Protein backbone atom coordinates (compact mmCIF):
# COMPACT_ATOMS: atom_id res chain seq x y z
CA UNK A 1 0.00 0.00 0.00
CA UNK A 2 2.69 2.45 1.06
CA UNK A 3 4.82 1.57 -1.93
CA UNK A 4 2.29 2.55 -4.58
CA UNK A 5 0.78 5.42 -2.66
CA UNK A 6 3.07 8.15 -4.05
CA UNK A 7 2.60 7.62 -7.80
CA UNK A 8 -1.14 7.15 -7.29
CA UNK A 9 -1.41 10.52 -5.56
CA UNK A 10 0.50 12.09 -8.42
CA UNK A 11 -1.82 10.83 -11.11
CA UNK A 12 -4.78 11.74 -8.96
CA UNK A 13 -3.88 15.40 -9.18
CA UNK A 14 -3.75 15.09 -12.95
CA UNK A 15 -7.13 13.37 -12.83
CA UNK A 16 -8.59 16.28 -10.91
CA UNK A 17 -8.04 18.55 -13.84
CA UNK A 18 -9.19 16.13 -16.48
CA UNK A 19 -12.51 15.13 -14.81
CA UNK A 20 -14.85 16.30 -17.50
CA UNK A 21 -18.26 17.79 -16.84
CA UNK A 22 -19.51 17.34 -20.39
CA UNK A 23 -21.24 14.34 -21.95
CA UNK A 24 -23.72 12.15 -20.10
CA UNK A 25 -23.55 12.46 -16.34
CA UNK A 26 -23.17 9.29 -14.29
CA UNK A 27 -26.00 10.52 -12.11
CA UNK A 28 -28.43 13.33 -12.54
CA UNK A 29 -30.94 14.19 -9.84
CA UNK A 30 -33.68 16.53 -11.06
CA UNK A 31 -35.97 18.68 -8.93
CA UNK A 32 -35.88 16.41 -5.90
CA UNK A 33 -38.27 17.22 -3.05
CA UNK A 34 -38.49 15.52 0.33
CA UNK A 35 -40.68 16.62 3.20
CA UNK A 36 -40.95 15.18 6.70
CA UNK A 37 -44.38 16.21 7.87
CA UNK A 38 -44.38 19.98 7.38
CA UNK A 39 -40.61 20.31 7.18
CA UNK A 40 -39.10 20.56 3.70
CA UNK A 41 -35.81 18.71 4.16
CA UNK A 42 -34.92 18.92 0.46
CA UNK A 43 -36.48 21.53 -1.87
CA UNK A 44 -36.26 21.30 -5.63
CA UNK A 45 -32.65 20.14 -5.71
CA UNK A 46 -30.90 19.26 -8.98
CA UNK A 47 -27.38 17.92 -9.07
CA UNK A 48 -25.08 16.00 -11.43
CA UNK A 49 -22.07 13.75 -11.07
CA UNK A 50 -19.67 12.76 -13.84
CA UNK A 51 -17.33 9.76 -14.09
CA UNK A 52 -14.09 10.22 -12.18
CA UNK A 53 -15.48 13.26 -10.45
CA UNK A 54 -15.73 14.04 -6.74
CA UNK A 55 -18.59 16.36 -5.85
CA UNK A 56 -18.47 17.69 -2.32
CA UNK A 57 -21.77 18.35 -0.61
CA UNK A 58 -21.46 20.76 2.28
CA UNK A 59 -23.81 22.64 4.55
CA UNK A 60 -24.70 23.13 8.19
CA UNK A 61 -26.62 20.70 10.34
CA UNK A 62 -30.08 20.08 8.92
CA UNK A 63 -29.17 21.60 5.55
CA UNK A 64 -30.47 18.46 3.84
CA UNK A 65 -27.19 16.84 2.71
CA UNK A 66 -27.80 13.45 4.26
CA UNK A 67 -31.45 13.37 3.22
CA UNK A 68 -30.51 14.12 -0.38
CA UNK A 69 -27.99 11.29 -0.36
CA UNK A 70 -30.52 8.96 1.27
CA UNK A 71 -32.75 9.59 -1.73
CA UNK A 72 -29.97 8.52 -4.07
CA UNK A 73 -29.07 5.46 -1.99
CA UNK A 74 -32.67 4.30 -1.98
CA UNK A 75 -33.04 4.61 1.79
CA UNK A 76 -35.64 7.37 1.47
CA UNK A 77 -37.78 7.67 -1.67
CA UNK A 78 -38.33 11.30 -2.78
CA UNK A 79 -41.77 12.94 -2.76
CA UNK A 80 -41.15 14.23 -6.27
CA UNK A 81 -38.35 14.58 -8.79
CA UNK A 82 -36.45 12.10 -10.89
CA UNK A 83 -33.12 10.35 -10.91
CA UNK A 84 -31.19 9.47 -14.06
CA UNK A 85 -28.33 7.02 -14.07
CA UNK A 86 -26.25 7.17 -17.26
CA UNK A 87 -29.00 9.25 -18.81
CA UNK A 88 -31.75 6.73 -18.10
CA UNK A 89 -34.52 7.16 -15.58
CA UNK A 90 -33.98 4.99 -12.55
CA UNK A 91 -36.34 4.26 -9.72
CA UNK A 92 -34.77 4.14 -6.24
CA UNK A 93 -37.43 2.58 -4.06
CA UNK A 94 -35.02 0.63 -1.84
CA UNK A 95 -31.30 0.26 -1.10
CA UNK A 96 -31.42 -2.83 -3.28
CA UNK A 97 -32.48 -0.74 -6.31
CA UNK A 98 -29.60 1.64 -5.77
CA UNK A 99 -27.07 -1.17 -5.47
CA UNK A 100 -28.49 -2.64 -8.63
CA UNK A 101 -27.53 0.61 -10.39
CA UNK A 102 -24.00 0.46 -9.02
CA UNK A 103 -24.61 3.03 -6.29
CA UNK A 104 -22.88 2.16 -3.01
CA UNK A 105 -23.09 4.16 0.17
CA UNK A 106 -20.69 4.42 3.07
CA UNK A 107 -22.79 5.76 5.92
CA UNK A 108 -21.48 7.95 8.67
CA UNK A 109 -22.61 5.31 11.16
CA UNK A 110 -20.90 2.73 8.88
CA UNK A 111 -24.10 0.62 9.06
CA UNK A 112 -22.26 -2.48 10.22
CA UNK A 113 -23.89 -5.37 12.05
CA UNK A 114 -21.60 -5.23 15.07
CA UNK A 115 -22.22 -8.81 16.11
CA UNK A 116 -21.05 -10.27 12.79
CA UNK A 117 -17.52 -10.67 11.45
CA UNK A 118 -15.93 -8.77 8.58
CA UNK A 119 -16.86 -11.19 5.77
CA UNK A 120 -20.49 -11.37 6.94
CA UNK A 121 -20.67 -7.57 6.96
CA UNK A 122 -19.01 -7.19 3.59
CA UNK A 123 -21.57 -9.48 2.00
CA UNK A 124 -24.54 -8.38 4.11
CA UNK A 125 -27.70 -8.65 2.04
CA UNK A 126 -25.96 -10.27 -0.95
CA UNK A 127 -24.16 -13.29 0.43
CA UNK A 128 -22.31 -15.69 -1.80
CA UNK A 129 -23.99 -19.07 -1.80
CA UNK A 130 -23.23 -22.57 -2.98
CA UNK A 131 -25.26 -24.23 -5.69
CA UNK A 132 -27.69 -25.45 -3.04
CA UNK A 133 -28.22 -21.92 -1.74
CA UNK A 134 -26.18 -22.40 1.43
CA UNK A 135 -23.92 -19.60 2.62
CA UNK A 136 -20.44 -20.06 1.20
CA UNK A 137 -18.56 -18.62 4.16
CA UNK A 138 -15.18 -19.80 2.92
CA UNK A 139 -15.54 -18.09 -0.44
CA UNK A 140 -16.75 -14.93 1.29
CA UNK A 141 -13.80 -14.99 3.68
CA UNK A 142 -11.45 -15.51 0.75
CA UNK A 143 -12.89 -12.51 -1.12
CA UNK A 144 -12.78 -10.42 2.04
CA UNK A 145 -9.14 -11.28 2.62
CA UNK A 146 -8.36 -10.16 -0.93
CA UNK A 147 -10.18 -6.83 -0.84
CA UNK A 148 -9.02 -6.03 2.70
CA UNK A 149 -5.49 -6.87 1.62
CA UNK A 150 -5.76 -3.91 -0.73
CA UNK A 151 -7.28 -1.48 1.77
CA UNK A 152 -5.61 -2.50 5.02
CA UNK A 153 -2.92 -5.17 4.55
CA UNK A 154 -2.26 -5.52 8.27
CA UNK A 155 -5.84 -6.61 8.96
CA UNK A 156 -6.08 -10.25 10.09
CA UNK A 157 -9.15 -10.50 12.31
CA UNK A 158 -11.53 -12.10 9.86
CA UNK A 159 -13.58 -14.11 12.32
CA UNK A 160 -13.97 -11.49 15.04
CA UNK A 161 -17.22 -9.58 15.50
CA UNK A 162 -16.62 -6.12 14.04
CA UNK A 163 -17.65 -4.47 17.31
CA UNK A 164 -14.23 -5.32 18.73
CA UNK A 165 -12.32 -3.80 15.80
CA UNK A 166 -10.74 -0.33 15.92
CA UNK A 167 -12.41 2.68 14.29
CA UNK A 168 -10.12 2.54 11.27
CA UNK A 169 -10.61 -1.18 10.81
CA UNK A 170 -14.37 -0.76 10.96
CA UNK A 171 -14.16 2.03 8.41
CA UNK A 172 -12.07 -0.21 6.18
CA UNK A 173 -14.74 -2.92 6.37
CA UNK A 174 -17.42 -0.39 5.42
CA UNK A 175 -15.35 0.87 2.50
CA UNK A 176 -14.44 -2.66 1.40
CA UNK A 177 -18.15 -3.39 1.20
CA UNK A 178 -18.65 -0.56 -1.28
CA UNK A 179 -15.50 -1.24 -3.28
CA UNK A 180 -15.90 -4.98 -3.62
CA UNK A 181 -19.14 -4.76 -5.56
CA UNK A 182 -17.63 -2.58 -8.29
CA UNK A 183 -19.51 0.58 -7.40
CA UNK A 184 -19.68 3.14 -10.20
CA UNK A 185 -21.15 5.75 -7.93
CA UNK A 186 -20.03 6.09 -4.36
CA UNK A 187 -21.69 8.13 -1.63
CA UNK A 188 -19.43 8.82 1.33
CA UNK A 189 -21.14 10.39 4.33
CA UNK A 190 -18.56 11.95 6.66
CA UNK A 191 -15.96 9.29 5.84
CA UNK A 192 -13.28 10.72 8.11
CA UNK A 193 -15.37 12.01 11.01
CA UNK A 194 -14.40 9.25 13.44
CA UNK A 195 -10.81 8.70 12.32
CA UNK A 196 -7.34 9.66 13.51
CA UNK A 197 -4.88 11.55 11.27
CA UNK A 198 -3.18 8.49 9.78
CA UNK A 199 -6.46 6.78 9.01
CA UNK A 200 -7.85 10.00 7.54
CA UNK A 201 -4.88 10.18 5.18
CA UNK A 202 -5.52 6.58 4.19
CA UNK A 203 -9.15 7.34 3.34
CA UNK A 204 -8.16 10.41 1.34
CA UNK A 205 -5.72 8.35 -0.69
CA UNK A 206 -8.41 5.81 -1.28
CA UNK A 207 -10.79 8.47 -2.55
CA UNK A 208 -8.17 9.60 -5.07
CA UNK A 209 -7.50 6.04 -6.11
CA UNK A 210 -11.20 5.30 -6.68
CA UNK A 211 -11.63 8.56 -8.58
CA UNK A 212 -8.79 7.52 -10.88
CA UNK A 213 -10.63 4.31 -11.59
CA UNK A 214 -13.45 6.42 -13.01
CA UNK A 215 -15.84 6.12 -10.08
CA UNK A 216 -18.02 9.13 -9.35
CA UNK A 217 -18.07 10.13 -5.70
CA UNK A 218 -20.44 12.26 -3.66
CA UNK A 219 -18.55 13.37 -0.59
CA UNK A 220 -20.58 14.70 2.32
CA UNK A 221 -18.45 16.37 4.94
CA UNK A 222 -18.40 18.96 7.68
CA UNK A 223 -14.68 19.31 7.14
CA UNK A 224 -14.33 22.07 4.57
CA UNK A 225 -10.66 21.23 4.07
CA UNK A 226 -11.43 17.60 3.34
CA UNK A 227 -13.87 18.69 0.70
CA UNK A 228 -11.65 21.40 -0.76
CA UNK A 229 -8.77 18.98 -0.96
CA UNK A 230 -10.63 16.13 -2.66
CA UNK A 231 -13.56 17.58 -4.58
CA UNK A 232 -13.71 18.85 -8.16
CA UNK A 233 -16.96 20.68 -7.61
CA UNK A 234 -18.69 21.70 -4.42
CA UNK A 235 -22.44 21.99 -3.86
CA UNK A 236 -23.46 24.07 -0.90
CA UNK A 237 -26.80 23.30 0.74
CA UNK A 238 -28.73 25.66 2.97
CA UNK A 239 -32.17 24.94 4.45
CA UNK A 240 -32.88 22.18 1.94
CA UNK A 241 -31.86 24.14 -1.17
CA UNK A 242 -28.67 24.17 -3.17
CA UNK A 243 -27.18 27.64 -2.85
CA UNK A 244 -24.77 27.04 -5.69
CA UNK A 245 -22.56 24.40 -7.24
CA UNK A 246 -19.11 25.77 -7.93
CA UNK A 247 -15.90 24.49 -9.43
CA UNK A 248 -13.28 24.31 -6.73
CA UNK A 249 -10.84 26.30 -8.82
CA UNK A 250 -13.13 29.33 -8.97
CA UNK A 251 -13.56 29.78 -5.22
CA UNK A 252 -11.68 29.93 -1.94
CA UNK A 253 -12.54 28.02 1.23
CA UNK A 254 -13.73 31.32 2.67
CA UNK A 255 -16.22 31.72 -0.20
CA UNK A 256 -17.59 28.26 0.56
CA UNK A 257 -17.77 28.99 4.27
CA UNK A 258 -19.69 32.16 3.51
CA UNK A 259 -22.20 30.21 1.44
CA UNK A 260 -22.63 27.57 4.17
CA UNK A 261 -23.28 30.15 6.86
CA UNK A 262 -25.25 32.81 4.96
CA UNK A 263 -26.91 30.66 2.32
CA UNK A 264 -26.08 33.14 -0.48
CA UNK A 265 -23.73 33.11 -3.46
CA UNK A 266 -20.52 35.13 -2.91
CA UNK A 267 -21.72 37.89 -5.27
CA UNK A 268 -25.04 38.33 -3.48
CA UNK A 269 -23.56 38.87 -0.06
CA UNK A 270 -23.94 42.43 1.19
CA UNK A 271 -21.12 44.32 2.84
CA UNK A 272 -22.84 44.32 6.25
CA UNK A 273 -23.32 40.53 6.16
CA UNK A 274 -19.67 40.09 5.27
CA UNK A 275 -18.63 42.28 8.17
CA UNK A 276 -20.86 40.37 10.54
CA UNK A 277 -19.30 37.15 9.32
CA UNK A 278 -15.79 38.42 9.77
CA UNK A 279 -16.62 39.60 13.26
CA UNK A 280 -17.81 36.08 14.08
CA UNK A 281 -14.77 34.43 12.47
Q: Which of residues 50-79 bind other proteins (CB under 8 A)?
A: 73, 75
- Orientation angle between helical segments 197-212 and 167-180, nearest 10 degrees: 10
CB 138, min distance to other proteins, A? 5
Report if residue 126 touches other proteins, rule: CB under 8 A. yes
Q: Give the full edge-to-edge strand order of the sheet including 80-85.
A: 39-49, 27-36, 80-85, 88-90
Report if residue 95 touches other proteins, rule: CB under 8 A. yes
**35 burial type by CB count under 10 A (0-12 exposed, 13-18 middle, 19+ buried):** middle
Report if residue 91 touches other proteins, rule: CB under 8 A. no
Number of residues that bind other proteins (CB under 8 A): 32
Report if residue 4 touches other proteins, rule: CB under 8 A. no
Radius of gyration of the CA atoms of the chain, in A:
19
The Cα–Cα gap between 241 and 165 comes to 38
Q: Which of residues 103-122 bind other proteins (CB under 8 A)?
A: 105, 107, 109-116, 120
Q: Which of 17, 18, 134, 271 binds other proteins (CB under 8 A)?
A: 134
Q: Are 185 and 102 in contact (CB under 8 A)?
A: yes
Binding mask 13-52 for other proteins (x = CB under 8 A): ----------------------------------------
Measure the N-to-C terminal CA separation of the chain; round to a whole number of Å: 39
Q: Are 160 and 152 in contact (CB under 8 A)?
A: no
Report if residue 176 touches other proteins, rule: CB under 8 A. no
Give the interface with other proteins as residue ranges (CB under 8 A).
73, 75, 94-96, 99, 105, 107, 109-116, 120, 124-127, 129, 133-135, 138-139, 141-142, 145, 164, 166
Amino acid sequence: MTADREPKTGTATAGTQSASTSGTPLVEMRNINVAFGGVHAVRDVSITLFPGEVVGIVGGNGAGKSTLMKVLSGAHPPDSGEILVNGERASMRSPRDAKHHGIETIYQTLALADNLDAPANLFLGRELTTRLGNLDDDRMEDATRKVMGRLNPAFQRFSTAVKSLSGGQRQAVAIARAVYFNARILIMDEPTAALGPAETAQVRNLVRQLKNEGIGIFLISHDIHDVYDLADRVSVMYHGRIVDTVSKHGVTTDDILGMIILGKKPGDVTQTELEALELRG
